[in-house]
Amino acid sequence: MARLDGRKKDEIRKTKITRDYLLYPDGSVLVEVGDTKVICTAMIENKVPPFLRGSETGWVTAEYSMLPGSTVTRKMRDSSKGKVDGRSQEIQRLIGRSMRSVVDLNLLGERTLWLDCDVIQADGGTRTASISGAFVAMADAFYKLMKEGALEKMPVKSFVSAVSVGIVNDEDVLDLCYLEDSNAKVDMNIVMTDKEEFIEVQGTGEEAPFTMDELTSLLEIGKKGCCDIFEIQKNVLGKEIYELIGE
Amino acid sequence: MARLDGRKKDEIRKTKITRDYLLYPDGSVLVEVGDTKVICTAMIENKVPPFLRGSETGWVTAEYSMLPGSTVTRKMRDSSKGKVDGRSQEIQRLIGRSMRSVVDLNLLGERTLWLDCDVIQADGGTRTASISGAFVAMADAFYKLMKEGALEKMPVKSFVSAVSVGIVNDEDVLDLCYLEDSNAKVDMNIVMTDKEEFIEVQGTGEEAPFTMDELTSLLEIGKKGCCDIFEIQKNVLGKEIYELIGE
Amino acid sequence: MARLDGRKKDEIRKTKITRDYLLYPDGSVLVEVGDTKVICTAMIENKVPPFLRGSETGWVTAEYSMLPGSTVTRKMRDSSKGKVDGRSQEIQRLIGRSMRSVVDLNLLGERTLWLDCDVIQADGGTRTASISGAFVAMADAFYKLMKEGALEKMPVKSFVSAVSVGIVNDEDVLDLCYLEDSNAKVDMNIVMTDKEEFIEVQGTGEEAPFTMDELTSLLEIGKKGCCDIFEIQKNVLGKEIYELIGE
Amino acid sequence: MARLDGRKKDEIRKTKITRDYLLYPDGSVLVEVGDTKVICTAMIENKVPPFLRGSETGWVTAEYSMLPGSTVTRKMRDSSKGKVDGRSQEIQRLIGRSMRSVVDLNLLGERTLWLDCDVIQADGGTRTASISGAFVAMADAFYKLMKEGALEKMPVKSFVSAVSVGIVNDEDVLDLCYLEDSNAKVDMNIVMTDKEEFIEVQGTGEEAPFTMDELTSLLEIGKKGCCDIFEIQKNVLGKEIYELIGE
Amino acid sequence: MARLDGRKKDEIRKTKITRDYLLYPDGSVLVEVGDTKVICTAMIENKVPPFLRGSETGWVTAEYSMLPGSTVTRKMRDSSKGKVDGRSQEIQRLIGRSMRSVVDLNLLGERTLWLDCDVIQADGGTRTASISGAFVAMADAFYKLMKEGALEKMPVKSFVSAVSVGIVNDEDVLDLCYLEDSNAKVDMNIVMTDKEEFIEVQGTGEEAPFTMDELTSLLEIGKKGCCDIFEIQKNVLGKEIYELIGE
Amino acid sequence: MARLDGRKKDEIRKTKITRDYLLYPDGSVLVEVGDTKVICTAMIENKVPPFLRGSETGWVTAEYSMLPGSTVTRKMRDSSKGKVDGRSQEIQRLIGRSMRSVVDLNLLGERTLWLDCDVIQADGGTRTASISGAFVAMADAFYKLMKEGALEKMPVKSFVSAVSVGIVNDEDVLDLCYLEDSNAKVDMNIVMTDKEEFIEVQGTGEEAPFTMDELTSLLEIGKKGCCDIFEIQKNVLGKEIYELIGE
């Protein structure tokens, strides 16, 4: 059975990462995955949260939000609701954790890297697009610190990308758009390194539970998707930067 | 004395309004005024706030926010601060008031138009850019309602644009960028209709008060700036739509 | 056409400023403008906000609120609503800005002056009455610091007063009461120094836009109103204090 | 040992209740107890909270707040702190409970009486002054409803007044000012009806616990204080109104 | 007339205090008073609130909350309501005040004792059970500090217990369960020391005011109830600890 | 290498579920997993959230919180912080999703089941213990509805249990206590049905990423752990109830 947009089951959507999208952040990209568009910025602050003061260790943290006009029905702002959105918190915790897993925080010194992922258009997969984009913004910010002489070595150990997989109409599919996601009986987000290791695997069968075989099969196509994104990340960063990663 | 970017005193920055910037809102633009960039979306909701229920009258309201990466130093989110930013509230009240002043709310029927202005890059004049852009998004949203047969007549009576003026190094200048704004002894925001009438005049001499003559002179170049923007708005909306306005 | 209370078009309401209204603040007044009544207090704190620490510069800030019983329909408290009132924030920013424009913050040293304007009865013009009253409370607080030897010189460069003007029934009128304000097609607040310079000009034509001629004419009667209030401020402060201002 | 202001141990401070203090509320007083000054307003709303809808029963509720300038050190506003003040909540619950204890809520019908007590100057005893003053504002508001024909009968069964008592320098004293209160080893608030019955007795020996004899002795002088206040309330309300109470 | 559960008028409910209920706090008890069950924990923090820094004085503070499942109708969480519950604040202030009244804060040094009272089942008297239980948890926490050599002397001067009394069906009764409490015309909470002195007396006659005789009679049976609880506290703490109290 | 408490690698901690732990909820358990203790309550409300009104469909939702004394260092309350804890939100979303995956919401009718999981002692695995316990409380609440005749059929399709697995000292271990969890390089939570299907798989390698083989091996021992818990759940529910599940 064909997918809505004619893609193959294990094919990611057209994915584009535009570097230097904004003027002021230390790193900034617009990541487009099909119709999903996210602005990811990376900004260095020369201090760390209280629990790390004096530790000579850095920190990486993320915030995630959706613009009111990013969805079909207007999304009310958190600041208007006066209460934080649980889903947003869950996503920003995931982004932060994923990035920290490949950063050597000791090399970073007592600095905080703020990653902000603001969704301007949401057609499914906003959290995975945020991770794939935030990685590039982060690499740019650290590279800037290196060029300024503030860091001797790139503190990033591996590439990180993320993609969703799911079971839709009894078929495993890669990189679900919103409509596919709404009809998926199983939905899984995968975050990987370019060493083919998993950083996060989050699968949920709210609609219907899934077997070990289904899980294994989904992980396989997820791995393929992440690898396709590593290619895009490497191309956009260029050899000069990507060869510093994981040195 | 020359301006930072070589502009003439009464010259606006390079201004570009991109329509249909996003897929889901009823109207959406990216407005660029020099390095200032704002996404303005317009979304129709088929109900009104409690104070208007049963009145057969519509409402137009606006929200304004800056992305964390829009400024040189990261701007903390309102939702993280847990407290609403006074400046943002002031600006969104101004945007809402400006739009309502040219909309016939009776023609709109019991609908709310939500305008969202999200600044993705801030180099001065974000509130005036928001107004100039939100006007186009609003016109698009109403035009869509007309095409759907939900409105018989465009409920917009005039064009609205806005621009800042100020006194910098003892000279009157039009459309200040951030650096000029920081050095202005007087700073004024002007919102006008294309009938050369003022909707809002907000001048502040926090650094130094100003005389009636200075005020008059500033209003003159402000008027010129607003007219330049009307041209841009008309060009981007196209004859089919702009001839419906103020009919 | 006569005004509701028989006043002339360019006549302010009966205005009275009572000094030393409360026991504990460094300066405190009750300002009465017709039926509008506001308690303005000025209190010195021997520290400054974080962004000024170590700068040897002072700060002046204001807060504004309305008592629940100040209006015809009970006004819900901000603390009960759990969300800050945008209009109040806008007004307190205006009051703070107006006062800072005439204070030499370097002379003040690392001190904060807190101005609190609490409306106990609201019949229009509460923000302008707050400014006119807060100025007197501020002068008193600084004078107290001088008498204590903490300041060598009065850090106030000019008098400040404020008044509203508007177009009601096609006539320019000065100092609108609530009923006039509700029927005004244009509404403007003017803050001036006693050197006949403007600190703030905020005009809005939400009901109907206004022309340059209308604006000029409104500013003229506004100027007259501010001058009338300077007389009242000078009388109530007395020669000993007012001669120190702008020395 | 003499009291600070020369009062006798069982003498209340100079107490004055000014009726019709504000224009808009249904009842409003300024109550002055020595240097303590509180504005009490009573406003009728023609609906009840959700838990009483359809019950044909009314409700009486109170809010209490202190102006920033009411105390020697500026009191931060609840709305600025972004968190409600526990002491204020405790006091407003006490005021509401005290008034409801003498109101026949069935007679009131489905209406809410809002009592607002705003302290403009605090020299001890603000909660008891609020109760004594709110009672008069409440009586005025209900009397207004009677005159309008909305109520057939005054829904108030007894007068209510309140006073503080305490042990200072080993002596029982009545109606403590702030300085006495700070030095009291026992502090008690008493709310009574004019039938010499207690509505509330709240005694705390945070500094030192107290015996049954001490308690009995304090209640005696408290009773005297409340009776003195009933005289003042009756005088200010006038015979026409006070004879309706408890009919 | 017999009580619901056959108790005598001056008989407390079956009361049990289980020490060392949890592993991590410095002191922790489960207190059961009839069907009312409260977990009370005491935790030492080696710093004090800002107003005490440098004073060489300690602090004791309390927080109180009810689990959602503790009541017949699910109790919404404060954190979900986004607004603090006035009743909870009032109770936690009472608990803190009661404990501080018997603690020598100077002996404690610059430490804060946090008392947390979490009601897991509520059948009336949760605030008094919290006080009786928190006292034991507090004694345990201080005893632990003594054993560690951090304190030389037990900083507790007396035992503290609390109980409710009320008038139900025209009879004075001790330790009301929820159903009795709902039908009480007078309701009073009493906090005492084992020297038969009162720390707090809080009586309210919201339903009907009460006379001096009624008050005296209620205090008598309250005193008996507190004494019964002192026995239970002493038994559970054991001689080694209780002989240190009030030494 | 031996585990801290001598357990085998694939052995769960001593797990005990006590039914009918509280009087008022429709279902309530105390679940103890080693030193981790959680009170889980289930309460039925006869209405649904707005998005389901009129749908004849029910809802299951969960809230999760930790008592201040449940951890070694006192955990500040959400209501005191004035801001919701992201981790708690993430966990309560997981609990709700897990339960909904096995409930036939159509059979439930327009009712909401509130599940509250309050951790009274936390030694790792609080989210998985909450799920295993909440399932039993939920079954009890639905069974009560059946006995009352409100439901014809048990709306639960399968049993649900949850357990954590991780890699500690290079070995796969089941059901990590806090100390093991702190030293785990990979940490995974598994939620399963008794049909050996996964509802949720959440693995994170914040410390170090993990391979497909490691993942497969962890899922195997996780499956064993969940099966051990199903036995405990079935024993405690008894045949009469458990045979209704998945009928």
Give the pair of three-digit tokens for residue C22. 């409360």
CA distance B223 to B161: 10
Q: Do chains F and C touch (3 or more CB pairs under 8 A)?
A: no
Q: Phi, psi (5° rounding) for residue F170?
A: 65, 15
| Confidence at residue F48, expressed as pLDDT on a 0 to 100 scale | 92
Question: Tell me: the pLDDT tens digits for F2-19?
Answer: 788 899 999 999 999 999
Q: How far is CA A84 from CA A87, A97, B158, C214, in A?
A: 9, 19, 39, 47
Look at E198 and D212 and tell me if their CB atoms are within 8 Å.
Answer: yes
Question: Tell me: the pLDDT tens digits for D117-176?
Answer: 999 999 999 999 999 999 999 999 999 999 999 999 999 999 999 999 999 999 999 999
Side chain identity at A41, as an amino acid letter? T
What does the DSSP 8-state code read for residue B109? -
Q: Phi, psi (5° rounding) for residue D115?
A: -110, 125
Give the pair of three-digit tokens for residue E224. 């008996």
CA distance E245 to F183: 43
Distance from CA of D144 to the nearest CA of E (A): 25
The residue with tokens 């599919």 is: A173
Rg (CA), chain E: 18
Question: Tell me: the pLDDT tens digits for E88-143?
Answer: 999 999 999 999 999 999 999 999 999 999 999 999 999 999 999 999 999 999 99
Q: Count the neighbouring beta carbons within 10 Å of the beta carbon of residue F8.
A: 10
Three-class SS of residue A101? coil
Q: Do chains B and A touch (3 or more CB pairs under 8 A)?
A: yes
Strands F171-174 and D198-204: unpaired
Q: State chain D's mean pLDDT as an integer.
A: 94
Three-class SS of residue C159? coil
Question: Tell me: the pLDDT tens digits for F43-75?
Answer: 999 999 988 988 899 999 999 999 999 999 999
Q: What is the 3-state secondary structure (H, E, C) of C216-236?
A: HHHHHHHHHHHHHHHHHHHHH
* Residues of E engaging D, defined by a Cβ cutoff of 8 Å: 83-84, 86-87, 89-90, 92-93, 97, 100-101, 158, 188, 192-193, 195-212, 215-216, 219, 223
Which of B209, B212, B223 faces C219 most closely, judged by CB atoms? B212
* Residues of F engaging A, defined by a Cβ cutoff of 8 Å: 83-84, 86-87, 89-90, 92-93, 97, 100-101, 158, 188, 192-193, 195-212, 215-216, 219, 223
Average of per-residue pLDDT across A191-213:
92
CA distance D126 to D118: 9
Distance from CA of C23 to the nearest CA of B (A): 31
Question: Tell me: the pLDDT tens digits for C195-239?
Answer: 999 999 999 987 889 999 999 999 999 999 999 999 999 999 999
Question: Tell me: the pLDDT tens digits for A22-57?
Answer: 999 999 999 999 999 999 999 999 999 988 988 899
Surface-to-core class of residue A83, CB atoms within 10 Å of its CB (0-12 exposed, 13-18 middle, 19+ buried): middle
Question: Tell me: the pLDDT tens digits for C158-191?
Answer: 999 999 999 999 999 999 999 999 999 999 999 9
Distance from CA of B92 to the nearest CA of C (A): 9
Name the nearest CA neighbour of A191 among A101, A116, A114, A105. A101
Buried b (16+ CB within 10 A) or exposed e, C164-181: bbbbbeeebbbbbbbebb
| Confidence at residue D81, expressed as pLDDT on a 0 to 100 scale | 64
Average of per-residue pLDDT across C53-60:
92
Q: State chain A's mean pLDDT as an integer.
A: 94
CA distance C13 to C180: 13
Name the nearest CA neighbour of A20 among A242, A237, A243, A239. A237
F95 neighbors F115 (Cβ within 8 angstroms): yes
DSSP H/E element including F9: none
Question: Tell me: the pLDDT tens digits for B25-53?
Answer: 999 999 999 999 999 999 999 999 988 98
CA distance A163 to A202: 11
D101, closest residue in chain E (CA to CA): E206
Give chain C positions within 8 Å (CB) of D70.
22, 24
Look at A116 and B68 and tell me if their CB atoms are within 8 Å.
Answer: yes
CA distance D137 to D27: 4
Q: Is the dihedral of CA F148, F151, F153, F159 positive or negative?
A: negative
* Residues of D engaging E, defined by a Cβ cutoff of 8 Å: 83-84, 86-87, 89-90, 92-93, 97, 100-101, 158, 188, 192-193, 195-212, 215-216, 219, 223
Look at B206 and C100 and tell me if their CB atoms are within 8 Å.
Answer: yes
The residues of chain E scoring below 50 in pLDDT are none
Q: State chain B's mean pLDDT as an integer.
A: 94
Residue C73 assigned to a binding site: no
pLDDT band at F1 (very low <50, low <70, confident <90, very high): low
Distance from CA of D209 to the nearest CA of C (A): 33
Look at D69 and C39 and tell me if their CB atoms are within 8 Å.
Answer: yes
Look at E69 and F22 and tell me if their CB atoms are within 8 Å.
Answer: yes
Domains along chain C with CATH numbers: 15-243 (3.30.230.70)
What does the DSSP 8-state code read for residue A205? -
Surface-to-core class of residue B238, CB atoms within 10 Å of its CB (0-12 exposed, 13-18 middle, 19+ buried): exposed
| Confidence at residue E206, expressed as pLDDT on a 0 to 100 scale | 76
D201 neighbors E215 (Cβ within 8 angstroms): yes
| Confidence at residue F84, expressed as pLDDT on a 0 to 100 scale | 63
| Confidence at residue A82, expressed as pLDDT on a 0 to 100 scale | 59
A96 neighbors A10 (Cβ within 8 angstroms): no
Question: Does the pLDDT at position F208 exceed 90?
Answer: no
pLDDT band at A225 (very low <50, low <70, confident <90, very high): very high
CA distance A119 to A126: 7
| Confidence at residue D150, expressed as pLDDT on a 0 to 100 scale | 95
| Confidence at residue B1, expressed as pLDDT on a 0 to 100 scale | 59
How high is the ipTM of this complex? 0.94
| Confidence at residue D11, expressed as pLDDT on a 0 to 100 scale | 97
DSSP H/E element including A221: helix A212-237
Question: Does the pLDDT at position B183 exceed 80?
Answer: yes
| Confidence at residue B83, expressed as pLDDT on a 0 to 100 scale | 61
Alpha helix (H) residue ranges in chain E: 78-81, 86-100, 105-108, 126-147, 178-182, 212-237, 239-242
Which partners does chain B have (≥3 C-beta pairs < 8 Å)? A, C
Distance from CA of D116 to the nearest CA of C (A): 7
First to last CA, chain D: 44
Q: Count the neighbouring beta carbons within 10 Å of the beta carbon of residue A107.
A: 16
| Confidence at residue C212, expressed as pLDDT on a 0 to 100 scale | 93
Give chain F positions within 8 Å (CB) of A197.
205, 209-211
| Confidence at residue F176, expressed as pLDDT on a 0 to 100 scale | 97
